[in-house]
Structures are given as structure tokens and as C-alpha cells.
Structure 1
Amino acid sequence: MTISLRAFAAAALASLLTFSSAHALTVYSSVDEENAKKLLDAFTKATGVDVQMVFLSSGPAMSRIEAEKARPQADVWFGAPSENHILAKERGLTEPYVSQNADALPDQFKDVEGYWHAIYTNPLAIGVRTDILESRGAPVPASWEDLKNPAYKGLIQMPSPQSSGTAYSLILTLVEERGEDGAFEFLKALNPNVQTYTQSGTAPSGALGVGETPLAIQFTPGFLKLADEGYPVKVVFPSEGVGYEVASMSILKGAQNPDDAKKLVDWITSADGQGALSATKTYFLPIRSDVSGGTGVPALDQIKLTPVDPKFAAENKQRLVDRWTADVLGQ
């Protein structure tokens, strides 16, 4: 009798878990696990919608979504650069929904038909240890051009385009602003001021934090985290303009919970959802110009953004990286 009762209880629990799973919003997240959990927990708290999250980086997520196309196992793809969501749309893996907040988003942060919406952006920036520059009598830069100042000789860390997509984003930004030859003339002139080309795209902010370098170039989250933790770090968005990465989300075609999926789109693009980016300390920048990225961070419409053609970026990557290796490292 005891065994039967245990078996019944186990079966009942399994049934309950299956029911719960079937009714939770299932999210494939390509946002890092820590920050995805922060945001999705905030969504659940705000809406009451339960979420089951599976972390998958961009490539594996796309492969899994394609493999499950006939019988989708998730409702939403959350995160991954917008180019991936454009590809998912082209492959018929997602379905349209124009959020009630779409009008509040700049054109580059949404699909006009509603197949994807951006959720945050990370612009390039210069991280500055103001205390170190002050001790050296050196000025705080305001532009890319300022970084050629001889006062910064051997004081800058930036990633290497040979291993870092962040550094390639910088090359694309400069090509867009100066033309290809102008971009490489600038990078050659900058080279004497570069202390180290790091392998990782986030290593420069680590060096900035420990005072190994007073000037670093990368995407903003690492700099914003240092400033928030009390380091004497200023985040400078160069006046010529900055490239940026955009993380987006899509509702998967055949989603089992389309209504809750739409709630997630509406929440993350709302002022409250965008505010959660800073409130939960993700250090991602909001895509809405009416939402602050946190203390000392300008609204997005106050930062000059330099858009880059993703097709050009993909087709020219190896060539441009090879040119950097030859012209900059090999000079």
C-alpha cells in the first residue's frame, strides 16, 4: 500500500511538473545567464508570467530552432545580435508581432513588420581612469582623433581584431566615418599609443579597473560596472560617433504560448522593462531614448551612433582584419 501511495504521489508530481512546463513561457536565451535571469525574473515579477529559460549562445540557438522548426520547443528567442534575427526571419523561423511600444523605438532597433525587436544595445566607448590621467597632466579625450595625442603614448589598451569582434566593430565604425583608407591611416597613427592589443574584447576594462592602463576601448558594460562600483572611471562616447551591438528578440513560429510571448515583447520594450536594465545592474544600455542607462550615462539619443551595414561587415571581415595585421602590426 505504501509503495502504491508513493507511486501515485510520484506520478502526480510528474504530471504537475509537465503541466507547469507546458504552461510556462519557454525562452531560449542568448543573453548571458546571469543577466538573462535578472531580466526574466523582473518580467515574471511585473506580469506574473512564469518563464523557463534555456541558455544557448547565438549559433547553437539558431541550429536548435531550425532543427525544431516542425515542432517548436520554445516560444521566444531572447538575445543574440539583430543580424541573427534577420536571418531567422528569412528562414521562416519567427512570426510577426508589432509591439504597442514599437513607435518608441528608433528604426534601427526594430523590424518594420514586427519580426524582431531590440532589447538593449552596447555602444563602443573609451573608458578613462581620470585619476591616472590627472596625475600625468594629460587631458581626458573627447574624440577618436584625440587618442592620437602623444601624451597617451603606451597608455591605451584595446582588443585585437584578430581575435575580437569588439575590435572589428571599431574598424567598421572608423571605415564608415573616414572611409577605408582614412580608417587605416588613423589606426596606424594610433598604434604607438597602444600599450597592448588584448585577445579578449572585455580585457581592457579589467586592466582599467586595476590601473594597468588609463585608457581602454571596448563596449560599454565593463566601464559602466567600474563606474558604478566607485572607480574613478569616466565613460567617453567619441564625438565622431560610435559603433554598437544590438541584442534582439523574436517570437518563434508555432509558439505554444504566443500571448505570453507578446507580453515579454511589450514588457522589455516598455519604459519599465527598459528601466530594468539599469535597475538590475546588467550595464546594458536602453534602446529607448526616454529611459536612462543609469547615473552618468547619457540617453541613447545623446550618443552619436554610427550604423554599419551587416552585409558589408560579414563579406569583408577577413580582408579588413588581414589589412589591419599588415598595415598596423606590420608597419
Structure 2
Amino acid sequence: MKSFVRSVLAAAMASFMAVSSAHALVVYSSVDEENAKKLLDAFTKSTGVDVQMVFLSSGPALSRIEAEKARPQADVWFGAPSENHMLARERDLTEPYASQNASALSDEFKDKDGYWHAIYTNPVAVGVRTDILESRGAPIPASWEDLKNPAYKGLIQMPSPQSSGTAYAVILTLLKERGEDGAFEYLKALNPNIQTYTQSGTAPSGALGVGETPIAIQFSPGFLKLADEGYPVNVVFPSEGVGYEVAAMSILKGAQNMDDARKLVDWMTSAEGQGELAATKTYFLPIRGDVSGGEGVPTLDKIKLVSTDPTFAAENRQRLVERWTKDVLGQ
């Protein structure tokens, strides 16, 4: 009898959870799990919309969305660079929605037809341990050109473009500023100052934090976090300009929970939603000019941003990485 009662209760609970899950907004998130949870929890608190999050990095997320096209299992793809969302649109995987907040976003932070909207942006930056450079009598760099200073020989960490999209963003930045040949001449001249090329795009900030290196190159959040936590770190945006990533979101075609999917897009692009980037300490930069990134986080108008063509970036990645391997590493 007890076994029967347990079975009935278990079946009832499973049924209840299935119904609850059916009403939740299902989000495939390509934002790192910690920060995605912060933002989606804030959305739930503000709107009352329950969210079921599944973490998937960009490539696997796109593959899964495509595999589920005939019967979508999620409502929103949250995160991944905007070019991935452009690809999702081309493959007819997403729904257009003109958010009421679209007019507050500049063109690079939205699809003109509403197929995707940006969530945040991260510029490339240079993190500097001021205490270590001062102890060596070395200056604080302010530009890409400064990083070639022989005083920095063997002192810089940056990711490898062979494994990191962050490093590829650096190459694209230099291409836009110097032309292709000039960019590779610069990277070859910089090479003696590189301590190591890391596999991970966020490893340099970790090395900076423990004092393994006094200069690091990657996207800005890791450096802003160290500075906020009291480390003697300066965050430098090279004066010639920096590339940047744009993380975006799309409503998936055939979404079962369309109303709440639209609520998430509206909330995330609102001043309230953008304010949560700072309130929850994500260290991501807001995409709205009327929202502060928090103490110590610069607004976008204080940074010289360098735009790149995502189509060119996608079509030339293999070729440019192979040229970097040959010209810079000499392999």
C-alpha cells in the first residue's frame, strides 16, 4: 500500500513539474552560467516570469536549435556573439520582434528587422598591474604602439587566435587600423614581448590577478572585476581604438511562450534591465548610452571603438589565423 501511495505521489509530482516547466520561459543561454543566472533571476524578480535555463556555448547552442527546428524546445537564445544570431536568422531559426526599446539602441546593437537585440558589449582592453611595472621602472602603456616597448619583453600575456575568439578580435582590430600587412608586422614586432599565448580567452586576467604577468590582453570584464576587488590594476583601452564583442538574444521560431519571450527582450533592453549589468556585478558594458556600467566602468562614449564586418570576420578567420601562425610564430 505504501509503495502504491509513493508511486501515486511521485506521478503527481512529475505531472506537476511537467506542467510548471511547460509554463516556464525556456532559455538556451550562451552567457556564462554565473552571470546568466544573475540576469535571468533579476528578470524573474522584476516580471514574475519563471525561467528554465539551459547553458550551451555558442556552437552547440546553434546546432541544437537547428536540430530542434521542427519542434522547438526553447523560446529564447540568450547570449553568443551577434554574428551567430545573424546566422540563425539566415537559417530561418528565429522570429522578428520590434522591441519598444529598439530606438534606444544604436545600429550595431540590433537587427534592423528585429531578429536580434544586443544584451551587452565587451571591448578589448589591456590590464596592467601597476605595482609590478612600478617596481621594474616600466611605464604604463596607453596605446597598442606602446606595447612594443622593449621594457615589456616577456611580460605580456594574450590568448592565441588558434583557440580564442578574443585573440581573433585583436587581429581584426589591428587589421582595421593598420591594414592586413601592417597588422601582421605589428604582431610580429610584439611577439618578443609576449610571455605566453594562452588557450583560453580569459586566462590572461587570471594570470594578472596572481601576479604571474604584469600586462594582459583580453575583453574587459576580467580586468574590471580585478580593479573592483581592489587589485592594483589599471584597465587601459588603447588610444588607437579597440574591437568589441556584442552578445545578443533572439526569439526562436515556433517559440511556445512567445509573450514571455518578448517580455525578456523588452526587459533586457530597458534601462532597468541594462542597469542590472552593474547591479549584479557582471562587469559587462551596457548597450544603452543612458545607463551607467557602475563605478569604475567607462561608458562607451569614452572608448574609441573599432567596428569590423562580421561577414569578413567569418569568411577569413581560418586564413588569418593560419597567417598569424606562419608570420608571427614562424610555423
- TM category, shorter: over 0.9
Instruction: Tell me the alpha carbon deviations over residues 226-281 of structure 1, each in whole angstroms, 9 at most, x when there is no partner.
Output: 11111010111111111111111001111111111111001111111112112212
Instruction: Tell me the alpha carbon deviations over residues 75-96 of structure 1, each in whole angstroms, 9 at most, x when there is no partner.
Output: 1111111111111111111111
Q: Which residue of 2 aligns with 1:34?
A: 34
2 CA distance for matches of 1:184 and 1:7?
A: 67
Contact kept in structure 2, 1:163 and 1:200, CA below 8 Å: yes
Deviation of 1:224 (Å): 1.3
2 CA distance for matches of 1:261 and 1:300?
A: 28
Moved more, 2-11 or 266-275: 2-11
Moved more, 31-40 or 258-267: 31-40
Moved more, 167-176 or 149-158: 149-158
Q: Which residue of 1 aligns with 2:98?
A: 98
Deviation of 1:8 (Å): 4.0
Q: Which residue of 2 aligns with 1:161?
A: 161
Deviation of 1:136 (Å): 2.2
Q: Which residue of 2 aligns with 1:254?
A: 254
Instruction: Tell me the alpha carbon deviations over residues 271-318 of structure 1, each in whole angstroms, 9 at most, x when there is no partner.
Output: 111121122122222111222222212111221111111221122222
| Length-normalised TM-score, structure 1 | 0.95
Deviation of 1:330 (Å): 2.2
Q: Which residue of 2 aligns with 1:326?
A: 326
Deviation of 1:3 (Å): 5.5
Equivalent residue of 1:329, what SS?
coil
Q: Which residue of 2 aligns with 1:55?
A: 55
2 CA distance for matches of 1:228 and 1:33?
A: 21
**Residue 234 of structure 1 pairs with residue 234 of structure 2:** yes
Q: Using a 3 Å threshold, how does the CA distance of structure 1 residues 4 and 322 change in structure 2: closer, same or farther?
A: closer
Q: Which runs of 5+ in 2 are unaligned?
A: none
Matches within 5 A, 1:260-275: 260-275=260-275
Matches within 5 A, 1:184-199: 184-199=184-199
Deviation of 1:192 (Å): 2.1
RMSD: 1.6
The one-letter code sitting in structure 1 at the alignment partner of 2:48 is G
Contact kept in structure 2, 1:225 and 1:283, CA below 8 Å: yes
Contact kept in structure 1, 2:283 and 2:297, CA below 8 Å: no
Contact kept in structure 2, 1:293 and 1:299, CA below 8 Å: yes
Q: Which residue of 1 aligns with 2:118?
A: 118
Equivalent residue of 2:328, what SS?
helix
Equivalent residue of 1:49, what SS?
coil
Equivalent residue of 1:201, what SS?
coil
**Residue 245 of structure 1 pairs with residue 245 of structure 2:** yes
2 CA distance for matches of 1:194 and 1:5?
A: 67
Equivalent residue of 1:216, what SS?
strand
**Residue 208 of structure 1 pairs with residue 176 of structure 2:** no
Q: Which runs of 5+ in 1 are unaligned?
A: none
Deviation of 1:10 (Å): 3.2
Contact kept in structure 2, 1:290 and 1:299, CA below 8 Å: no
2 CA distance for matches of 1:119 and 1:81?
A: 10
Instruction: Tell me the alpha carbon deviations over residues 54-98 of structure 1, each in whole angstroms, 9 at most, x when there is no partner.
Output: 111222211221222222111111111111111111111111111
| Length-normalised TM-score, structure 2 | 0.95
2 CA distance for matches of 1:204 and 1:58?
A: 21
Equivalent residue of 1:248, what SS?
strand
The one-letter code sitting in structure 2 at the alignment partner of 1:72 is P
The one-letter code sitting in structure 2 at the alignment partner of 1:46 is S
